[in-house]
Copies of this chain bind each other. A is one copy, B any other.
Amino acid sequence: MARPLITLTSDFGIADPSVAVCKGVMLGIVPDARLLDISHEVARHAVAQGAALLWAALPYVPVGVHLAVVDPGVGTDRRPVVLAAGRGDYLVGPDNGLLLLAADRLGGVAKAHLLADAAYRLQEVSRTFHARDVFAPAAAHLAAGIPIEAFGPAIAAESLVRLDMPEPRAAPGVLEASVAMLDAFGSAQLLAELADLETALGPVAPGDTLAIEAADGRLLGGNRSIELRWRLTYGEAATGEPLLCLDSWGRLAVAVNLGNAAAELGLAPDRRLRIRRG
C-alpha cells in the first residue's frame, strides 16, 4: 500500500525554516508520509493567487491530503477548516477562499469540518503560526487515518468563504479577461478559455492576427495596443514575437516566444485585458 501523500502550498518562501518545521511536525505524526511541495512562493498574503495555483496543480497530483496556508488573518477569527473533496482528497487550511476553487475541481466539497479538537493540534498553539500548530498536525492526522468528523463540528459548504474571481466577458468582437497568474517564463495566464475567445471572435486558426489592450486604457509595454497572433505553441512564433495560445492548464495565455511577456508587456496578476481581431 502506498504511503500517505501530503502536499504543501504556502507563501512562506524557502529561506526561513517555516516550511521545514511544518514538515517536521508532520513527520513526527506520520513518519512515513510522502511530502510534495506544490509551491511556497505564492506572493505574500495573496490568497487568490494561491487559490489559482492549487486549482492548476492539484488535478495532476494523486489523491492525498493538501495543506495550504496563505493566511493574512492568522490568529484572528477566520476559521481553520478541513474540506473533503469528491475525488477523495482532503484540503486543510484557513477558510478564506484559498481551498475552494481547487475543491470544486476535485469533485466538489463533500464535507467540511472545523479544526477545533485540541487533540489534533500541537500542545501549545501560538497566535502567529497556525500552519505549524494547527494545520500541519491536522493534515498529518488525516494522513494517518483519523476521520474528518473527529476534528470538529461540521460546517455547511455554503458558509465557506468564496473568492470573487474576475469573470471573462465575451461581447461581439471583444473578449475581456483578467490575468490569473504568471508562469516561470513570464507568460500571463488569463481567466478565460478558448470557448470564451470564440464566443467573442468566432473560430480562431493558427496565424490569425489579434490585438490586446488594457481595459483601463493604460499602455502595455509602452503601446496602446499590442498585435499578436493565435498560435498552438511558442515555437511557431518568431523569436521575440508575442502570441496568444492555450496554455498547459487549458486557459488562454499571452506569451512571447523565447521572451518574457510579463516584463515586456507590463502584465501582472489582476490586470484586465481586451482582446479583438487585429
Which residue numbers of A lie inside 8 Å of B, CB to CB?
2-3, 5, 7, 11-18, 20-21, 23-25, 27-28, 31-32, 34, 36-41, 44-45, 53, 56-58, 60-62, 72-76, 126-129, 132-133, 181-185, 232-236, 245-248, 258, 260
Contacts and interface: CB of A to CB of B under 8 A. Distances in A.
B31 A16 contact: no
Contacts of A31: 2-3, 5, 34, 62
Given A24-B62, A127-B233, A133-B248, 17 more contacts: A14-B37, A16-B182, A17-B38, A18-B184, A18-B248, A21-B57, A21-B61, A23-B61, A24-B57, A24-B60, A28-B62, A45-B258, A72-B234, A75-B233, A75-B234, A126-B247, A129-B247
Contacts of A32: 2-3
A232 B56 contact: no
A27 B44 contact: no
A95 to B, nearest CB: 14
Nearest to A245: B128
In terms of DSSP, what is the predominant structure of the interface of chain A? loop
Contacts of A258: 45, 72
Contact of A246 (B20, B58, B126): B126
9 contacts: A14-B14, A16-B183, A23-B61, A27-B34, A31-B34, A72-B258, A76-B233, A76-B236, A127-B245
A15 to B, nearest CB: 4
A275 B66 CA distance: 41
A14 B57 CA distance: 13
A57 B245 contact: no
Contacts of A60: 21, 24-25, 28, 132
